[in-house]
């Protein structure tokens, strides 16, 4: 206790008057390297520099952070850990268990993070009661994007249940339009799968299956139903979907080749980059069913020597959760702020929907971590589920076999 | 003293490299073997827990696919590249005027990193964008080339791209071999009226045994390490239909935080390499001993 | 050139020979098309605007040729918070590749010389063990190597990267030189020894001058491998020492951002220019040199 009071005092004095013993330094490992993502992280760099810090950039893109994690392991093993690292979900706790993460509770308490972050998101930032990571944003995963003209031309309303979706898709098929634009990559299959699971099974089912890994739920009839719907969706994608990048699928919706796409809110960036207007050219609605699947990007601080680096970590943590960064960053990236007290006036209608849904599902207890994007489970278990989902989607495996395989894979991954 | 030195200088010169290989290859293999007996997750741990990682490995359907693919891919890739490389070298050896240009065209793929070339191949082989769409546009409506989207055929699509990348290098090795065969012998054979194909099959090709060794090692090395290629071309998909042991191992070690499992897959993979490569090395080196 | 062709093309050729000749050219041309196809896609894509890529076919000639993507890739595109393109990373790659290629080639030459010409008991076993080292998957060595580099104090530095590339290059360079030197008659070494030349003297004055062709092969192989390596580059570098492949990967592999395929393709070609250059320039010596060298042997 004494320690954290002391540290808080140090931080306070540092921020207030900038009379630091050493200039704040930070080497930041992240995988936001291009386009809007790079611009977003550059905002942080600028704020860091404005506060007297020196930012050393260590970008490593690829595979949704896989390459960065490879580099991170090598760096930690060689005793040369970066100052701050983009980490998310249960991976934070995994690294904490290795004893390499620094405690940033003093900053968090001084800044009152607990009051401004939704409880479930704050939970991801804590390791055994201490704060060990700083959240940047909230991505919503369970979005369905639609081409407004196609829906109008075929007299289709935005589906609110999966049954309605299937009816709409059949109509579109008959009209010669690809109902679902999809890229056949494992993570995209998993993204669709979790949206279906949440829609058909509801929040409790999702929590029990993909957070608690309850065997009975994993083997339940509901899960068979989820795989049945996946098989249906397989019929609604075109023949060339394998390996397609997600943005090419988005382009299909934009160009009117396909009607719907199920993808996280970064897809919005593609529409906006092509000059499309939300609500007019394209529609953004949550996937059928209730609930909200989030993916929260965050930064964790690693144990490093030197006052300059440690003060850099504290400054960085404070800036990341600061109001101005949360706003500017998320305007660039298409997500919404993790803080609930940031004014959303400059955000678009999709972001407003997202923020409103997050607040309401937070109250209803249906604010859930995305398994497909590494928020709900550790890598081994999440990977095991994805293996089954993608194997089922890309073959003629029966739903019952898939469920059995799912249970086996989970058991084998422990 | 000088005599002793003179006798031992060759060994002393070789020693640093040998020691480095002992530590950084064999030492690391032992390390990997050790870790494969632990329950290492995010980072390596050294507490031995038995063979559970191997049990998990052999219970994994994805690993089965990866091993099957290694044999299909490795066999076809090495075989086709050797044959195509030799074939092209023989064609180019027929006093072709544009040899320099053609040779460079055949060779250049080796210079490109697969990170992006994979994307180009992905488009070319995609039925909706590439070859299939183009040929259909020409009026051949029933033309089909959709290997890359077909889980049963996708591994062959990977073979095509891999052969594209490596066969030029093999061609160059063979071409050099063809050129270094003593011309007197060939002329003598021609005078004797031996047909050209016999000259190639009975005289020239057998004299290139060391080149086969180099080409085989280069190709086998590329086959085992084919990683960028698969990641860029198919990402292991559709599903995990084109997974290879290298991609499996990488996924386990670095994206799933399951290092023990990755180590066990590495050990099995090296075991396979050992049983295939060592007899080959043995016979090759034996034959040339005298 | 005229003499040359006359030698091999008799003035009168039968129809069959002519047809065979045409078939030969047709085959060679077809293969050339096969090899050029991906390059065609990459170059045309790099010359298109993003708008055209988004709306048109990916595999088509550009309607309006623009070099914008090329200049962006070289000096403007973002590889993180810095948006300076590939340029700053090029130098890192050069600093890493040149010494690593030099050292690995030198070690390979000496090793090959010993194994091929100074056979001692166990030399073949040592050679086989070094060869087997070529097959170790790099994913396996990442973690223990990271630890070793930390202990050696080379973590995150360019000398560290050079060290790693030399270690895992030795197997191949030794193979190439050994297979080359083994074709040189042992009598040559014996005669030189009789004349009183020592180990290094023989290497320096007899073997090295004969080695140009195999040096070319080895350098091409090593240069390509090291320049194009991503896995070691990403794992054993830190901010400021990242090679160009890591930067290329950062440009290409945006996870959730808009993909600029034209810039990706231009960047890929730019990053490959040094290796392409090596192939075009040295390719000639690659074959010609190798031939000339061993005919003398």
Contact A102, A311 (CB under 8 A): no
The yes-or-no verdict on residue C126 having pLDDT over 70 is yes
Q: Is residue B25 one of the residues assigned to a domain?
A: no
Q: Which residues of chain B does A97 touch, with a Cβ-Cβ cutoff of 8 Å?
A: 42
Is the N-terminal amide bond of A26 cis, ω within 30° of 0? no
Q: Which two tokens stand for residue A322?
A: 């600061």
> Beta strands A282-286 and A143-147: pairing type?
antiparallel
Residues 6+ apart with CB under 8 A from B192: none
Stretch 107-136 of chain B: residues touching chain A, C-beta under 8 Å: 122, 126-129
Residue C7 has what pLDDT? Answer: 45
Residues in contact with B98: Cβ distance below 8 Å, sequence separation at least 6, in sequence order: none
CB-CB neighbors (< 8 A) of A62 in chain C: 249-250, 253
Mutate to test the interface with B, among A242, A389, A413 (most CBs of B within 10 A): A242
Nearest to A321 by CA among A302, A299, A347: A299
Q: Would you say domain C87-296 falls under CATH 2.40.128.20?
A: no
Map residue A77 onto helix, strand or coil. Answer: helix
A377 with A340, same domain? no
Structural domain boundaries enclosing B74: 60-287
Domain limits at A56? 2-137+296-346
A408 and A393 part of one domain? yes
Q: In what order do the strands lie in the sheet with A292-295?
A: A336-337, A137-140, A292-295, A367-369
The reply to whether B33 touches chain A by the CB within 8 Å rule is no
* pLDDT confidence of residue A2: 44
Residues 105-144 of B with CB under 8 A from C: 105-113, 115-117, 119-121, 123-124, 129-130, 133-134
Query: How much is the pLDDT for C287?
Result: 66
User: Neighbours of A (≥3 Cβ pairs closer than 8 A)?
Assistant: B, C
| Bridge-based pairing state of the strands A84-87 and A367-369 | unpaired
Distance CA A313, CA A311 (A): 5
Residues 13-72 of C with CB under 8 A from A: 54-55
Cα R_g (chain B), whole angstroms: 23
Spatial distance between the Cα atoms of A72 and C138, rounded to a whole number of angstroms: 16
Question: Does residue B84 have a pLDDT over 90?
Answer: yes
Verify that A280 and A316 share a domain, yes or no: no
How many C-beta atoms surround the C-beta of residue A314 within 10 A? 23
Tell me which chain A residues have a C-beta less than 8 angstroms from the C-beta of C246: 60
- In the block, tokens 């040359």 appear at C4
Strand A137-140 relative to strand A133-135, pairing: unpaired
Chain C 193-232, residues with CB within 8 Å of chain B CB atoms:
198-200, 213, 217, 221, 224, 228, 230-231
Q: Are A237 and A180 in contact (CB under 8 A)?
A: yes
- Rounded Cα–Cα distance for residues B196 and B174 (Å): 17
Q: Which residue from A91, A36, A44, A83 is spatially nearest to A65, judged by alpha carbons? A: A91
Q: What is the pLDDT of residue C83?
A: 80
State the total domains in chain B: 1
pLDDT at position B198 over 90: no
**B275 at interface of C, judged by CB pairs closer than 8 A:** no
Any domain includes B205: yes
Distances (CA, A) of A33 to A48, A62, A230, A320, C263: 18, 9, 33, 18, 14
Banded pLDDT at C289 (limits 50, 70, 90): low
Tell which of B113, B136, B179, B264 to mutate to test the C interface (max C CBs under 10 Å).
Answer: B113
pLDDT above 70 (res A240): yes
Question: Which of C108, C139, C163 is the best residue to mutate to test the B interface, defined by the most B CB atoms within 10 Å of its own CB?
Answer: C139
Higher-pLDDT residue of B285, A23: A23
| Average of per-residue pLDDT values in chain B | 86
B258 CB within 8 Å of a chain A CB = yes
A54 in reach of chain C (CB within 8 A): no
pLDDT of residue B199: 84
Q: What is the mean pLDDT of residues C101-110?
A: 95
Q: Where are the alpha helices (DSSP H) in A117-185?
A: 119-124, 148-153, 162-174
Instruction: Return the pLDDT at A50.
Output: 92
Q: Calculate how close chain C gets to B12, using CA atoms only, in Å.
A: 10
Same domain, A267 and A171: yes
pLDDT tens readout for residues A127-167: 998 999 999 999 999 999 999 999 999 999 999 999 999 99
Contact assignment for B246 to C283 by CB distance below 8 Å: no
Q: How far apart are the first and last CA of chain A?
A: 37
- pLDDT > 80? residue A275: yes
Burial class (CB in 10 A: 0-12, 13-18, 19+), A228: middle
Q: What is the pLDDT of residue C2?
A: 37
Nearest residue, CB atoms, B254 vs list A69, A95, A185: A69
Nearest residue of chain C to residue B173 (CA atoms): C287
Contact yes or no for B20 and C179 at CB 8 A:
no
Given A61, A74, A270, which is nearest C255 (Cβ)? A61
**Within an 8 Å CB–CB cutoff, is residue C55 touching chain B?**
no
Alpha-carbon distance of A327 to A94, in angstroms, equals 29
Contact C137 B246 (CB under 8 A): yes
CATH number of the domain that residue B69 is part of: 1.10.3720.10
List, for residues A76-99, the tens digit of each pLDDT value.
988 889 999 999 889 999 899 989
Contacts of A408 in chain B (CB under 8 A): 59
At residue A230, the pLDDT reads 95
Please write the tens of the pLDDT for every residue from B160-186: 999 999 999 899 888 888 877 777 888
For the stretch C211-221, pLDDT in tens is 887 888 888 88
Rounded mean pLDDT of chain A? 88
**Nearest 10 degrees: CA dihedral of A301, A303, A307, A310?**
10
The number of residues making up chain C comes to 297
A225, A300: one domain:
no
Number of structural domains (chain A) is 2
B172 Cβ under 8 Å from any chain C Cβ: yes
Examine the pLDDT at C294 and tell me if it is beyond 70: no
Q: Is C124 on the interface with B (CB under 8 A)?
A: yes
* pLDDT in the model for residue C256: 56
Provide the pLDDT for residue C291: 55
Query: CB–CB of A111/A118 below 8 Å?
Result: no
* Alpha carbon of A29: minimum distance to chain B alpha carbons (Å): 16
Residue B247 lies in a domain: yes
CATH number at residue A86: 3.40.190.10
Could you give the CA distance from residue A76 to residue A79 in angstroms, rounded to a whole number?
5
For residue B111, which residues of chain C lie inside 8 Å, CB to CB? Answer: 224, 228, 272, 275-276, 278-279
Chain C residues lying within 8 Å of A75, measured CB to CB = 146, 155-156, 238
Measure in Å the smallest separation between the Cα of C149 and chain B Cα atoms.
Answer: 11
| 3-state SS record for chain B | CHHHHHHHHHHHHHHHHHHHHHHHHHHHHHHHHHHCCECCCCCCCCCECCCHHHHHHHCCHHHHHHHHHHHHHHHHHHHHHHHHHHHHHHHHCCCCCCHHHHHHHHHHHHHCCHHHHHHHHHHHHCCCCCHHHHHHHCCCCCCCCCHHHCCCCHHHHHHHHHHHHHHHHHHHHHHHHHHCCCHHHHHHHHHCCCCHHHHHHHHHHHHHHHHHHHHHHHHHHHHHHCCHHHHHHCCCCCCCCCCCHHHHHHHHHHHCCCHHHHHHHHHHHHHHHHHHHHHHHHHHHHHCCC
Q: Provide, as residue numbers in chain B, all residues whose Cβ is less than 8 Å from the Cβ of A243.
A: 122, 126, 148-149, 233-235, 237-238
Q: Is the pTM of this model over 0.95?
A: no
For chain C, what is the mean pLDDT? Answer: 83
Same domain, A402 and A281: yes
* A359 inside 8 A of chain C by CB: no
ipTM field: 0.84
Chains touching chain B through at least 3 C-beta pairs below 8 angstroms are: A, C
User: Which of B 179-238 lie inside 8 A of C, CB atoms?
Assistant: 179-180, 182, 210-211, 213-214, 217-218, 220-221, 224-225, 227-228
Q: With 60 as the cut, is the pLDDT of residue C9 above it?
A: no
Q: How far off is chain A from C151, nearest CA to CA, in Å?
A: 7
Do A270 and A251 touch, CB atoms closer than 8 A? yes
Q: What are A169-205's pLDDT values in tens digits?
A: 999 999 999 999 998 888 899 999 999 999 999 999 9
> If pLDDT is split at 50, 70 and 90, which confidence band does A17 have?
very low
3-state secondary structure string across A226-295: HHHHHHHHHHHCCCCCECCCHHHHHHHHHCCCEEEEECCCCHHHHHHHCCCCECCCEEEEECCCCCEEEE
Would you kindly state where each structural domain of chain C is located, as residue ranges? 13-66, 87-296
CB-CB contact of A169 with A190 (8 Å): no
Higher pLDDT pick, B126 / B259: B259
Q: Give the other-Cβ count within 10 Å of B183's Cβ.
A: 10
Greatest mean pLDDT among A31-35, B191-195, C16-20, C160-164 lies in C160-164
C265/B contact by beta carbon, under 8 A: yes
Greater confidence (B94 vs B268) lies with B268
- Which burial class, exposed, middle or buried, applies to C2 when counting CB atoms under 10 A from its CB (0-12, 13-18, 19+)? exposed
**Average pLDDT over every residue of C159-164:** 95
């Amino acid at each position: 206790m004494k320690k954290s009071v002391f540290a808080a005092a140090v931080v306070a004095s540092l921020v207030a008057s900038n009379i630091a013993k050493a200039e704040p330094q930070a080497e930041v490992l992240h995988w936001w390297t291009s386009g809007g993502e790079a611009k977003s992280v550059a905002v942080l760099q600028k704020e860091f520099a404005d506060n007297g810090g020196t930012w050393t950039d260590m970008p490593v893109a690829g595979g949704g952070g896989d390459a960065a994690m490879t580099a991170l392991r090598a760096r930690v093993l060689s005793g040369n850990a970066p100052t701050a690292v983009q980490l998310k979900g249960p991976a934070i706790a995994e690294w904490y268990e290795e004893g390499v993460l620094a405690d940033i509770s003093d900053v968090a308490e001084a800044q009152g993070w607990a009051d401004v972050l939704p409880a479930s998101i704050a939970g991801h930032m804590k390791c055994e009661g201490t704060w060990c990571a700083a959240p940047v944003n909230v991505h919503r995963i369970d979005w369905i994007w639609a081409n407004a003209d196609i829906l109008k031309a075929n007299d289709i309303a935005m589906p609110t249940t999966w049954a309605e979706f299937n009816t709409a898709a059949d109509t579109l098929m008959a009209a010669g339009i690809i109902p679902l634009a999809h890229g056949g990559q494992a993570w995209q299959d998993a993204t669709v799968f979790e949206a279906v699971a949440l829609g058909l099974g509801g929040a409790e089912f999702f929590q029990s299956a993909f957070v608690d890994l309850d065997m009975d739920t994993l083997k339940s009839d509901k899960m068979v139903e989820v795989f049945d719907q996946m098989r249906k969706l397989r019929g609604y994608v075109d023949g060339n979907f394998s390996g397609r990048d997600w943005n090419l699928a988005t382009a299909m919706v934009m160009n009117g080749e396909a009607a719907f796409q199920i993808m996280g809110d970064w897809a919005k960036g593609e529409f906006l980059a092509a000059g499309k207007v939300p609500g007019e050219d394209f529609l953004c609605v949550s996937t059928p069913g209730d609930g909200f699947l989030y993916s929260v990007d965050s930064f964790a601080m690693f144990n490093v020597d030197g006052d300059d680096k440690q003060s850099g970590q504290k400054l960085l943590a404070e800036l990341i959760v600061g109001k101005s960064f949360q706003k500017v960053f998320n305007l660039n990236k298409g997500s919404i702020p993790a803080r609930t007290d940031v004014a959303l006036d400059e955000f678009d209608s999709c972001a407003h929907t997202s923020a409103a849904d997050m607040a309401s599902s937070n109250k209803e207890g249906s604010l859930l971590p995305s398994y497909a994007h590494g928020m709900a489970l550790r890598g081994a278990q999440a990977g095991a589920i994805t293996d089954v989902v993608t194997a089922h989607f890309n073959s003629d495996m029966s739903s019952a076999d898939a469920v059995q395989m799912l249970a086996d894979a989970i058991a084998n991954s422990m | 003293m000088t005599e002793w030195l003179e006798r031992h200088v060759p060994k002393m010169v070789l020693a640093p490299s040998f020691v480095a290989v002992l530590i950084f290859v064999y030492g690391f293999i032992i390390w990997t073997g050790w870790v494969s007996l632990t329950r290492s997750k995010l980072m390596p741990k050294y507490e031995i827990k038995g063979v559970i990682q191997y049990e998990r490995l052999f219970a994994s359907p994805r690993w089965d696919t990866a091993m099957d693919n290694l044999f299909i891919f490795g066999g076809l890739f090495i075989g086709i590249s050797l044959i195509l490389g030799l074939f092209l070298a023989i064609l180019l050896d027929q006093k072709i005027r544009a040899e320099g240009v053609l040779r460079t065209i055949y060779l250049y793929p080796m210079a490109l990193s697969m990170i992006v070339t994979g994307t180009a191949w992905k488009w070319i082989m995609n039925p909706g964008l590439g070859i299939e769409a183009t040929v259909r546009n020409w009026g051949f409506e029933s033309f089909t080339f959709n290997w890359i989207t077909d889980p049963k055929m996708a591994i062959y699509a990977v073979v095509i791209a891999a052969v594209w990348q490596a066969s030029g290098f093999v061609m160059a090795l063979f071409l050099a071999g063809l050129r270094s065969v003593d011309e007197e012998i060939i002329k003598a054979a021609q005078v004797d009226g031996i047909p050209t194909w016999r000259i190639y099959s009975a005289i020239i090709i057998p004299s290139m045994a060391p080149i086969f060794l180099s080409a085989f090692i280069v190709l086998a090395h590329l086959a085992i390490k084919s990683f960028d290629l698969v990641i860029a071309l198919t990402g292991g998909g559709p599903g995990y239909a084109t997974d290879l042991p290298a991609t499996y191992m990488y996924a386990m070690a670095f994206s799933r935080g399951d290092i023990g499992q990755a180590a066990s897959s590495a050990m099995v993979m090296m075991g396979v390499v050992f049983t295939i490569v060592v007899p080959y090395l043995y016979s090759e080196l034996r034959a040339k001993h005298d | 050139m005229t003499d040359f062709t006359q030698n091999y093309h008799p003035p009168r050729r039968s129809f069959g020979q002519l047809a065979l000749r045409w078939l030969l050219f047709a085959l060679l041309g077809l293969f050339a098309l096969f090899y050029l196809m991906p390059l065609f896609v990459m170059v045309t894509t790099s010359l298109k605007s993003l708008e055209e890529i988004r709306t048109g076919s990916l595999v088509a000639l550009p309607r309006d040729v623009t070099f914008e993507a090329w200049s962006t890739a070289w000096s403007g595109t973002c590889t993180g918070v810095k948006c300076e393109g590939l340029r700053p990373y090029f130098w890192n790659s050069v600093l890493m590749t040149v010494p690593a290629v030099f050292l690995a080639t030198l070690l390979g030459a000496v090793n090959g010389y010993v194994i091929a010409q100074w056979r001692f008991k166990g030399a073949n076993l040592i050679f086989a063990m070094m060869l087997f080292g070529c097959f170790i998957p790099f994913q396996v060595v990442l973690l223990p190597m990271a630890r070793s580099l930390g202990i050696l104090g080379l973590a995150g530095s360019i000398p560290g990267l050079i060290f790693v590339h030399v270690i895992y290059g030795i197997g191949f360079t030794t193979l190439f030189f050994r297979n080359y030197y083994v074709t040189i008659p042992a009598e040559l070494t014996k005669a030189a020894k009789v004349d009183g030349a020592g180990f290094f003297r023989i290497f320096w004055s007899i073997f090295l001058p004969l080695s140009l062709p195999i040096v070319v092969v080895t350098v091409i192989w090593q240069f390509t491998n090291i320049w194009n390596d991503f896995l070691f580059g990403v794992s054993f570098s830190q901010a400021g020492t990242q090679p160009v492949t890591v930067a290329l990967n950062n440009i290409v592999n945006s996870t959730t951002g808009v993909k600029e395929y034209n810039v990706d393709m231009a960047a890929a070609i730019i990053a490959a220019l040094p290796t392409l250059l090596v192939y075009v320039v040295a390719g000639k010596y690659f074959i010609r040199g190798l031939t000339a060298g061993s005919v003398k042997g």
